[in-house]
Amino acid sequence: MYGYHDHKDELLKRLRRAEGQVRGIAQMVDDDRYCIDILTQISATTKALQAVAVELLGDHLSHCVADAIEAGGPGAHAKIAEATDAVARLVRS
């Protein structure tokens, strides 16, 4: 079980909402809505997705990474490097 297991329901609710936001953006395009209003919705959706990512990262540090550190050995180093790479991708996206 991964770190986010305890609040899976809340994460799923936020992801369903983000999915609805993207569907709403497609609908706005289909309805010929004003460009700037569509851009505003895209900004809101990427923000919502990034907030989910930051929460997942916190869970990951609290569980998977913490467990690897407690277990010690090279596994801990690998987990920290992997999490840092994930942060690098989030910062660039």
* Positions that interact with a second copy (CB under 8 A): 1-5, 8, 11-12, 15-16, 18-19, 22-23, 25-26, 29-30, 32-36, 38-40, 42-47, 49-54, 56-62, 64-66, 69-70, 76-77, 80-84, 86-93
| Angle, CA of 51, 79 and 77, to the nearest 5° | 135
Q: Minimum Å distance from CB 25 to a second copy?
A: 6
Q: Minimum Å distance from CB 62 to a second copy?
A: 5
Q: Minimum Å distance from CB 72 to a second copy?
A: 8
Q: Minimum Å distance from CB 48 to a second copy?
A: 9
> In three state form, how does the secondary structure of the chain look?
CCHHHHHHHHHHHHHHHHHHHHHHHHHHHHCCCCHHHHHHHHHHHHHHHHHHHHHHHHHHHHHHHHHHHHHCCHHHHHHHHHHHHHHHHHHHC
